[in-house]
Amino acid sequence: MKPAGRLASLLGPPGSSLRRWRVLLLLALLGCLAWLVGPYAAFRLPGDPTLVPQEGQSRIHTILVALWWAAGVDAALAAGLLATSGFWARPERGLPAASRAPGRAGFGYVALLLAAAALAGALRWPLARQSVWWDEAWSVRHTLVGTVEPAEDDGSRLVFEPVPWIDTFYYYRKPTNHVLYSIAARVSLGAWRAATGAPPSAWDAFALRFPAYAAGLLGVVGIGLLVRSLGFARAGLAAAFLLAIHPWHIRYGADGRGYAFMVLFAIAAAGFLLRGLRRGGWLAWLGYGASQLAMLWVHPLAIYFPLALGGAGALALALGPGTASERAHRLARFAVANALAAMAYLPLMAPNLAQSVMLKFEWKQPADVVGHLAHQLWLYLATGLPRRQPFVPELVYPSIRNLWGGGVLTRAVAYGVLPALVAVGLARGVRRPGPARAVLLGLALAVPLALLHRWLQPLLLIERFAIYGMVAVVALLAIGLDGVLAAVLPARARRVGVPVGLAFGLTAYQLFVLPQTRVLRTYPPTAAREVAELVARAGEGTPGGVLRAGLGLGGNTPDVYDPYVLHVHRAGEIAALAERSRSEGRPLYVFYGYNDANRVKSPDAMVYLDDPRLFQEVAVLPAIEAEFLIRVFRYTGQPLPQ
């Protein structure tokens, strides 16, 4: 056999899809093998570092060891895909016409989706420019910008320590780093500096949040198109407007974290899966894999979404149309797309997952699911409102317990009307043809799967970690309301009556959650910037300004605006600052948020701040949540009792 013939036999015919896949996989395999034996191989590193970090093991060694193991797994996956490529890389037969999707959306439909996106942008705009809260401040310090602190040898001189890019990718001493979002936010901040000429240490709240803001608007359009593709055109428009006005999406669609990304990628994954089940093709399968990869790159505890959606997709493929051989071929392509996503994911997140092993105290949570977590998660997904909020004498924060008086009507809506509409929507969804039914069931099962795991194994599962559940809840609410209206209206009135009824339902929903919408449009996530501005004004004319200190939780956010803020946790630290205030003749200001948590963690310090003879309250700075409200106190100058 001639060399060209042997090459064609090994790689496949020239120009074929099989050859392209084999070349790509062979290059990936060779790259992994080179890393496995290269200078950064785990067995070449000093100190014998391990994948599970040992005490004192450097972070760079943990990163390199994790990358080495990721290369080993990727090499095995690449070899397996190469060995089976003769089966899954062959051309795919078309699916029956019955599986095809609806036609393209018309101009009017797209215009209404854009109107929903514009409404979403207007509702999120005020919050997107407000002061940052604790998680955002942590990101500014550790993954996006860096720290600005007084020099050790000269307190009047500030030193900027920038964040290296490796920390943006691989700093995971807290799961607060939503890596893909951190990358997008860092690029956004870089563009803002280039446009404004700001120095490397500067940052802007809206530039930090712009990727989330944009993702929120795209999500509004995306969910409308997704629900339309599922076969519910009218409900698609309702879903878009419902997501636009939903308080929980307003909250995290204007937040410098990755939660708006999670919603957007959940919508994209569902859309690509629906396309793949109907049409097949690598565009759909690779798009599905990339969407799942992106979601898990934001937060690995979103794993329940790809498990639920992927399981539903695999089952739909296994039971779908065609011969057994054709179904096996489509299922193999689906598996390959997931394997390729895993190959890309491992080097991106394995170092972070290895670091997360050291966060055992962060991950442990009580197994209480039905008593609180599922209840609260439902309320957030359906209404964006908490079950209750801590009492604040100055303000009434909306919750289900006090919304519109907290009477029977409020409970009837939250626990009766909205669940019933979701149930109707799900019932309508399971009656759709196979692809739409599979996608809706996959969307609906993601959150229950997360709750089941939490019930079986206590772990960290904060409600917002399951924000991807909004896709199912919003879609099913819209589909359910559309179905109820179509059922109760006579046939001749449905063409006009159902859209009018949907508009009325959306208006009623907005009125129901209006108190929460007002809070989100009025107050910052927490008043960190306002604290810095207050103490700056108080220090005008005082050399060095006033002494200022933040107590415990909530007190460690304003230092991104004011690097001279001190952190205190105990009564002794406050007493030392009070003595310094008297000796230097400088006023002392102390502030805190998280009232309930700080009273548990720093009860001795709170005794001082609660005594009006020692500390006078000078400001109460509201926030979007009661626990994020900040109280500011000025020391009266009286000696503190020991």
Residue length of the chain: 642
Confidence of residue 559 (pLDDT cuts 50, 70, 90): confident
Helices (H), 431-562: 434-456, 469-488, 494-512, 514-522, 528-538
Residue closest to 250 by CA, chosen among 409, 443, 474, 561: 474
Judged by average pLDDT, the poorest of 35-39, 265-269, 540-544 is: 540-544
Q: Convert the pLDDT of each residue in 467-486 to its tens digit.
A: 999 999 999 999 999 999 99
Q: Where are the domains of the chain?
A: 3-88, 106-131+209-356+367-522, 528-635
Confidence of residue 640 (pLDDT cuts 50, 70, 90): confident
Q: Convert the pLDDT of each residue in 148-165 to its tens digit.
A: 999 888 878 899 999 999
What pLDDT is attached to residue 97? 55
Higher pLDDT, 369 or 245: 245
The yes-or-no verdict on residue 12 having pLDDT over 80 is no
Q: Convert the pLDDT of each residue in 590-629 to its tens digit.
A: 999 999 989 999 999 999 999 999 999 999 999 999 999 9
Rounded (5°) CA angle 391-362-53: 165
Question: Mean pLDDT, to the nearest integer, of 213-242?
Answer: 97
What pLDDT is attached to residue 361? 44
Higher pLDDT, 100 or 180: 180
What is the share, in percent, of the chain residues with pLDDT greater than 90?
A: 78
Q: Convert the pLDDT of each residue in 562-575 to its tens digit.
A: 999 999 999 999 99
The yes-or-no verdict on residue 366 having pLDDT over 80 is no
Distance CA 581, CA 540 (A): 16
SS3 233: helix
Q: Convert the pLDDT of each residue in 453-471 to its tens digit.
A: 888 877 778 899 999 999 9
Residue closest to 226 by CA, chosen among 421, 436, 473: 436
The yes-or-no verdict on residue 488 having pLDDT over 50 is yes
Confidence of residue 307 (pLDDT cuts 50, 70, 90): very high
Distance CA 426, CA 557 (A): 43
The yes-or-no verdict on residue 99 having pLDDT over 90 is no
Distance CA 58, CA 156 (A): 33
Q: Evaluate whether 501 touches 489 at the Cβ level (below 8 Å).
A: yes
What pLDDT is attached to residue 552? 85
What pLDDT is attached to residue 53? 83
Round the average pLDDT of the chain to a whole number and report it.
92
Q: Convert the pLDDT of each residue in 420-430 to its tens digit.
A: 999 999 999 99
Could you tell me the pTM of the whole model?
A: 0.94
Give me 95's structure tokens.
């699916």
Q: Convert the pLDDT of each residue in 48-72 to its tens digit.
A: 888 888 887 888 999 999 999 999 9
Confidence of residue 7 (pLDDT cuts 50, 70, 90): low
Distance CA 211, CA 344 (A): 22
Judged by average pLDDT, the poorest of 233-237, 353-357, 399-403 is: 353-357
Distance CA 498, CA 53 (A): 59
Helices (H), 230-318: 233-245, 247-252, 259-279, 282-298, 304-318
SS3 394: coil
What pLDDT is attached to residue 265? 98
Residue closest to 264 by CA, chosen among 216, 307, 304: 216
Residue closest to 570 by CA, chosen among 594, 546, 590, 596: 590
Sequence-distant (≥ 6) Cβ neighbours of residue 421 within 8 angstroms: 476, 477, 480, 481, 484
